[in-house]
Structure 1
Amino acid sequence: MEKSLLKKFEKTYLELQIVFAKAKSWDINEEQRKQIEEWIKSTTESYQKVKEKYEKLLSER
């Protein structure tokens, strides 16, 4: 079950990355583009932290 949760989390993360990639091509102003870049950075950092903690918990079992 634990691994399936990680897979769902990874899937959600990848879906967000697709949306962010598409958003870069939208007709938006520079401020909005910077916000999207910040969301990408924040989401990636959060994903990495959660994944590392989750894998650590699994390895300790």
Structure 2
Amino acid sequence: MFLVVFLLQQTSVFADTPPPPPSPPGPLPPGLPLDGGLFLLVAISISYGIYKLNKIKKASN
């Protein structure tokens, strides 16, 4: 039993090599403004919500 446990412990010696260190950071990509189309997105989502509510009301009548 001792020999089996001893041999199973030796398998960790044959593990993979560690990964290479990460490359140094390059230039960051340009940031995208979030406020450019935010008003348009809110307006479209509100109008779609009103459309869906009206569709549900007409279906229930």
Q: TM-score range by the shorter chain?
A: 0.3 to 0.5
TM-score normalized by the length of structure 2: 0.43
Higher relative contact order (CA 8 A, sep 6+): 1
Say which structure is richer in helix. 1
Which has the greater radius of gyration? 2
Q: TM-score, normalised by structure 1?
A: 0.43
